[in-house]
Amino acid sequence: MALLREREWYAISLRPQGQHQRLRNAVTRAGGHLLALSPLRIVALDDTDACSRLRDALAASRCVFSSPNAVTCAARLQPLATAHAIAVGAGTAAALRRHGIANVIAPDRMDSEGVLDLAELQAVASQRIGLVSGDGGRGLIERSLRERGADIVRADVYRRDVAKFSPAALRRFDALPAATALFITSAEALDAALGQLDGERRAKLLAMHAIVASERLREACVRSGFGRIVAAASAQPADLAHAATASI
């Protein structure tokens, strides 16, 4: 039992509400305990415009899906069928396969920059390309493909709303040890978390071991003031948990 206690560790997930389970499972398998601290919630869009634009996006010669949320929310509106699906990362690709799309392309670098480096999206002048995404975000994929001459049909199928931390969640946060891993998979979620913490709690968060899966997120952590930043091999839960166990 003493060995087990020595291997125990703690982590926080800043993913949106309802999206912590796979990461929780990976952390548990690695001997850790995960606090789900959700600063955002996903709100599916089901208005007439969203449905219409989704039909048009899926009918394009290529269709880019920006996240697992985009896949899940789109599938609630209509069955997913597209000639050529492109996913931002492995998690998005897996979500597409669960909804019946077997032929999916995803980059090794699992972010917008990785998608834009794909050979399939280089010579796209005059091509019609669908983009299934959420309201907001950086807009890098859409902007870059338009600059390459593509005709982009964007379908926003969800939005992100700020979710206020509950008093119970904050009490659990206060009880965490200093050597806690913080999984950061979204710069927007990080900003939403920091924006609702008081000075003492914000300082505690910034002192944690930030576990990131992209250079963009590492840069966001540097700007926010983190002193300990560890790069995971990917955004997959097992890789995030492995990076955490190696750092704390």
Per the CB < 8 A criterion, the answer to whether 236 and 29 are in contact is no
Backbone phi and psi for residue 185, each to the nearest 5 degrees, phi listed first: -115, 5
CB atoms within 10 A of CB 135: 13
Task: Give the strands of the sheet with 180-184, arranged side by side.
Answer: 32-36, 9-13, 180-184, 209-212, 228-231
Longest dimension (CA), the chain: 64
Residue with tokens 């926003």: 156
Per the CB < 8 A criterion, the answer to whether 233 and 109 are in contact is no
Residue 6 burial (C-beta neighbours within 10 Å; 0-12, 13-18, 19+): exposed
To the nearest 10 degrees (0 to 180), the angle between helices 199-206 and 167-175 is 50
For the domain 43-161, what is the CATH code?
3.40.50.10090
Which residue spans of the chain are classified as CATH 3.40.50.10090?
A: 2-39+165-247, 43-161
Rounded to two decimals, the pTM is 0.85
CA angle, 111 as apex, 107 and 114 as ends, to 5°? 45
Give me the sign of the Cα torsion angle 136, 45, 106, 142. negative
Domain 2-39+165-247 has CATH 3.40.50.10090: yes
Tens-of-pLDDT digits for all 248 residues of the chain? 233 334 689 999 999 888 899 999 999 999 999 999 999 999 999 999 999 999 999 999 999 999 999 999 999 999 998 879 999 988 899 999 999 998 899 988 878 889 999 999 999 999 999 999 998 777 899 999 999 999 999 999 999 999 999 999 999 999 999 899 999 999 999 999 999 999 999 999 999 999 998 888 999 999 999 999 999 998 889 999 999 999 88
**CA dist 209 → 109, 182, 200 (Å):** 22, 6, 17
